[in-house]
Structure 1
Amino acid sequence: MKKQTNPNIKAHLIRSAFYVLLLLAVCVIPFALGQRNIGRHAPTLKTSRAGSKAVRPQPPQGTCPFPWSFVASMPLDFYGAGGASDGTSFYAAGGYTFETFDSLDTLYRYDPVGDSWTQLTSMPQKAIMPTAVYYPPTNKIYVFGGEDGNTGDNFDITRIYDIATDTWTTGTPMPGVISFAAGGYVPGNGKIYIVSGYNTGTVDSAQPNTWEYDPVTDTWNDLTATVPFPHPAGGFAFGVINDKLYISGGRDAANADINFTWEFDPAIPAYTAKADMPGGQPNVRGSAVAVGALFAFGGGNPFLAPENVATRTASAAGPAPGSAKAAHRSTEAASALAKTAPARNFDPAAIKRNPLLPTTTGRTDVYDPSTDTWTRSADLETIRSFVFGAYISNSDEIIAAGGFDGNFTTAVAEVLTPCIPPPPTPCPSTPTPTPTGCGLTVGSGLTIGFGPNNYFQIALNTVNYTFQVSEPATNDFALFETHDPWGFTVIKDAITAAGHTYTEFTPADLAGFDFSQYRVVILNWDDTFLTDFGGNAACGGSGAYIAALPALEAYAAAGGIVWVQGGIQGNFGDCFPLPFGGQACIDFSSTDPILEQCNPMMIGVENPIEGNFASHTSQTDLPAASNIVVINGSDSNSVVYELACATPQPTPTPTPVTCNSGLIHNGGFESGNLTSWTVDGTMPDPVATNALAHSGRFSALVGGNVAALQFCGFGTEPTGDSSFYQLFGPVPAGATLSFWHWDCTTDVIDFDWQDAYITDADGNILLTIYHQASNNQCWIHETVDLTPWVGLTIGVKFLAHQDGFGDLTTMLVDEVQVDVPGPCATATPRPTPTPRGQPTPHRRP
């Protein structure tokens, strides 16, 4: 079940340097492309209809929407500034930076002609999330209120910047303290309006304020009593169009993201509800007004509480190079982390951790008040929230600067030539799908079962589509699942809404099941781990689902419909096989483009699909005939596909029989120690342990902190290598090295790793069997062909490296042996001795 973020914590603010380190150095999964190199089992192959990389469709060049393009980055990375433009330049006032973990009093100017930034005179008071408004009659910028990002104190200050003289003055304070407010200048009456926002450091302080400021008289008029803002919140997109202030999105006092759009007409004065902002991340977006429309870009809730996302994972994914962890490692932070974060002992059942995860977007939405409609423009090149911007009229471009990108504050700036995108082309009318007679397989990695993602339309479409192409049968839907995903019943509700029925089963019922009695078989693995449904292929295991694949393939080939709903939980590297070939692997994505908008499963679904996360898995190595419908927004792997008229896979060839040669001594560590092995890395010393073994009682352990009984999770982490090896030989012909390993880490491969090598007799590496930061937490079987070293004496070495930051990395090893082709020789029984005859007695003389 999901939990709401504590409303007493402003979830989108960081209160201290330590909290930032804890959040970013421990629990952040980066969204930036190319940063998912955290385990060697992670999927790397791309698929499309022809088995190659799928390509995201792009609009024709020179047509609206135009793409965002990078310009010069700011001198400092920060988020939450007030942004305004005088038509010639762009100004960014205040903000918060992770460089110093403090709010800013800085003022930067961007010159689009020279593509350069200049630091100007600092503000009278530092603040994050102030509201900046340009006032043309006097060529001045007003910066209202804001907050101290570390203390949560809000301000009522009215700062006035004179562009001509580069000087600051202060005006009459506002009627109260406020931050995260909407605001704008209305030319028709010459007034500036400040609306809603927070007056403390927590979101439950959202205010209904409507304040009117007259720059000529430097006076305030509080209209709240007569014209209160209808839904108090903060973190809006806002702007003035035709003398009306438009306010959209934000986060309200109940800590809920809101998509409402309001039009404030000061001539009445009154608020009028307008079309809701689309998308799932309406909070702390950048905004600008151009071509008579409101542009809202970026946004999200980057600092979520545990279980406030669809992901429960023990993933090793964490900070990548350049992240807060890489930039701010310190002895003090490591010590603090080790004291406050719990360590884990070996409990394989207790792997369902709930990390803090950022969820940000790069989408750009355009509101046209003349039609009261929203359309989708081009996405930002860098996803981020707390981005700030404005329209620079002389250069005809909207600028988006700074923000928080999911890892760190950013200095990136981008510009967009504004235009109002046309509405999407409606799908042509198509006849109702009919049964193919040769079956259909649908695979989906979307988190359909996570209610807050609002994927009911996708579920309903897929229910209707699969039923329409199915053959008549006694029953409608067979639904296999372990529980209602995340506590929601999305697929069940879709089946019922479509007028059909379902019968619920568990994975244990797959064995011997008569699928032909049902029109559609749904394998609903959303919100489950591989071991929950018997899909533990990544760990060399098998279970109910894997065992049922041949029967499922036979059912589909005979005309049945199989829907594999695979938004599983787990770690990067967790994969399960799919009917007729291919695999689905953990591959989190928050934005997934639809390749076939008019596919029956995607009718009426906004493109791209966004969520928290939109998908948990993607598919690779699919059959060439697969039709890919949705792709992962980061790596273009398939996320939703369909495969018709497939042929069952041939029965795999049995594994040849092998025999343990005995060249490795004490390979099962059943001596209870490392006899016959050489320890060459002592940070910490490797040990034989009976905490967890693949077989027998013992295994060998490297890494962790054995002295403190800390193995996985967080604790006092040593710095250096923990390793041991054994030489063996000469290597016989046809030999194979075989061993099992169990891995856990809360770090990434840039800082910690688990390795296995083949070495020569002098310890030089001949082959790296793997170099990984894996958190699979299951026994994985490895084999290595030793043919290149026949006749030689070589070694096998196991190593875990830790960096002392507090995020533990461990590897267990068991059943290390050199196998040769079998069958194993049977000892020849000793011949039964021939009984000796009894001597014939003789009489004595």
Structure 2
Amino acid sequence: MRRRTVLTLASAIALAPAVPAQAHPGHTVPTTPTLPPAGSGAAYGSGWEPLAPIAGGPRQEHSVAAVGGRIYVMGGILPNPAGGVTTTDRVEVYDPRHDSWSQAAPLPVAMNHPNVAAVGGRLYVLGGLSGGASWQALRDSFVYDPRTDRWTTLPPVPAGTERGSAAMGVRGTRIYLAGGMRTLTPGPGGLQDTVATVSSYDVVTGRWATLPSLPEARDHVGGAIVGGTFYVLGGRDRGQVNVRDTVYALDLNSGRWTRRAPMPTPRGGIASAVVGDRIYTFGGEGNPAEGSNSIFAENEVYDTRNDRWHRLAPMPRPRHGTAAVAVGGTIYIPGGGNLGGGAPVDVNDAYRPTPRR
């Protein structure tokens, strides 16, 4: 195994006081999460490799994007020493070439479940969630330039369409958002306001457009654009256990939604990434199996060309509330939660799919 190095951050994470939050009925958030054993006989190998853990510590309900071969981990929630979790503005950068971490300028506004996309060498954040006892949708939008390490404020998300945890995709200069949630009140019976809203933002003109809504409301979904089609995979509707196996496809030319082959395993809180014409989906929350801690280990790939699903080697460290991005044919999956609700960990894994024959 190759030697791993980590860039030590200049200072320890400072966790601001926050209202303790638990995002799954009956679940108490641990202040020091521990990793469960590798799930279902899974082990590193079979395409999986452990990487240097997140230098700043555990992170969950964040977003990731890649620019210039580097992976940016933005926002999310952190463990609060007083109990529960707190939303962060922290942005950390992983360099796959050196297996090392550094810091970038923080988000102008702390967010969890931020809607993030990379276009033209810049990172766009188009709203998200934040708050104390109840997380509410934010309209705040920003663009980050890695060359200057600076954030610039953009016009806000149009009123009434703000949400976090949307499926994201990019085509040309347009960023597409599908579904998401306007409110997430952690705790038993807390409101989870799932939406079917679909919209797009043009990074050149700065204009928003409204597209045909999803056939059904979804949040915590997988999202990707392959060719001229926007795919929305799995997710949930108003609660962690209300997981879905649906795959909806929006033809960006005709504006019509169709239904594709369902996921083998219904899951919400998943991470997704594209390599070629295939969409890979990882982990998730809402697993009813005994001993699963409510977490899925599944790694399943959707073949957009043939409308077929395939099961692959499961995650060695099952997680939900994480995010994934592909760089050079390798998929990187930093952070996430290892128990239902808020239980951030610092795990950072890579998965390299077997080349197609």
Distance 1:149 1:33, change over 3 A: farther
* Paired residues of 2:164 and 2:180 also in contact (CA < 8 A): yes
Q: Aligned to 1:156, what secondary structure does the other structure show?
A: strand
1:148 maps to 2:130: yes
Decide which of 147, 156, 171 is 1:164's aligned counterpart. 147
1:409 maps to 2:353: no
1:212 maps to 2:200: yes
- Cα distance in 2 between the residues matched to 1:183 and 1:266: 14
Q: How far did 1:397 drift?
A: 1.0
Give 2:352's aligned amino acid.
T
1:67 maps to 2:47: yes
- Cα distance in 2 between the residues matched to 1:421 and 1:23: 41
* Paired residues of 2:42 and 2:314 also in contact (CA < 8 A): no
- Cα distance in 1 between the residues matched to 2:355 and 2:215: 28
Q: How far did 1:239 drift?
A: 1.1
For 1:33, the equivalent position in structure 2 comes to 37
* Paired residues of 2:127 and 2:162 also in contact (CA < 8 A): yes
TM-score (structure 2 length as normaliser)? 0.82
* Paired residues of 1:301 and 1:385 also in contact (CA < 8 A): no
1:647-706 deviations in Å (ceiling 9; x for gaps): xxxxxxxxxxxxxxxxxxxxxxxxxxxxxxxxxxxxxxxxxxxxxxxxxxxxxxxxxxxx
* Paired residues of 2:111 and 2:128 also in contact (CA < 8 A): yes
Q: How far did 1:149 drift?
A: 5.5
* Paired residues of 1:69 and 1:414 also in contact (CA < 8 A): yes
Decide which of 182, 203, 210 is 1:222's aligned counterpart. 210
- Cα distance in 2 between the residues matched to 1:208 and 1:197: 7
For 1:491, the equivalent position in structure 2 comes to none
1:201 maps to 2:179: no
Query: Which sections of structure 2, spanning at least 5 residues, go unmatched?
Result: 1-17, 186-190
Give 1:69's aligned amino acid.
E
For 1:346, the equivalent position in structure 2 comes to none
Identify which of structures 1 and 2 has the higher relative contact order when contacts are C-alpha pairs closer than 8 Å and 6+ apart. 2
Distance 1:376 1:127, change over 3 A: same
Q: Aligned to 1:155, what secondary structure does the other structure show?
A: strand
Task: Count matched residues.
Answer: 321
For 2:278, the equivalent position in structure 1 comes to 293
CA RMSD of aligned residues (A): 2.9
1:91 maps to 2:86: no
- Cα distance in 2 between the residues matched to 1:374 and 1:126: 37
Query: Percent of pairs identical after alignment?
Result: 24
Q: How does 1:491-506 map to 2 (within 5 A)?
A: none
1:183 maps to 2:168: yes
Q: How does 1:736-775 map to 2 (within 5 A)?
A: none
- Cα distance in 2 between the residues matched to 1:239 and 1:267: 16
Query: Which has more radius of gyration?
Result: 1
Give 1:143's aligned amino acid.
V
Higher strand share: 2
1:174-214 deviations in Å (ceiling 9; x for gaps): 12320110111112xx3111111111225652112111111
Q: How does 1:278-289 map to 2 (within 5 A)?
A: 278-280=264-266, 282-289=267-274
Decide which of 118, 124, 131 is 1:134's aligned counterpart. 118
Query: Which sections of structure 1, spanning at least 5 residues, go unmatched?
Result: 1-14, 35-54, 303-308, 312-316, 318-356, 423-845
Give 1:80's aligned amino acid.
E
- Cα distance in 2 between the residues matched to 1:201 and 1:56: 34
Give 2:194's aligned amino acid.
A
Give 1:231's aligned amino acid.
E
* Paired residues of 1:82 and 1:132 also in contact (CA < 8 A): yes
Q: Aligned to 1:145, what secondary structure does the other structure show?
A: strand
Q: How does 1:504-519 map to 2 (within 5 A)?
A: none
TM-score (structure 1 length as normaliser)? 0.36
- Cα distance in 2 between the residues matched to 1:209 and 1:284: 18
* Paired residues of 2:236 and 2:243 also in contact (CA < 8 A): yes
- Cα distance in 1 between the residues matched to 2:198 and 2:182: 13
Q: Aligned to 2:136, what secondary structure does the other structure show?
A: coil
- Cα distance in 2 between the residues matched to 1:421 and 1:301: 31
- Cα distance in 1 between the residues matched to 2:276 and 2:68: 14
Decide which of 232, 240, 250 is 2:225's aligned counterpart. 240
Decide which of 98, 114, 135 is 2:98's aligned counterpart. 114
- Cα distance in 2 between the residues matched to 1:195 and 1:243: 15
Distance 1:30 1:279, change over 3 A: farther
1:261 maps to 2:233: no
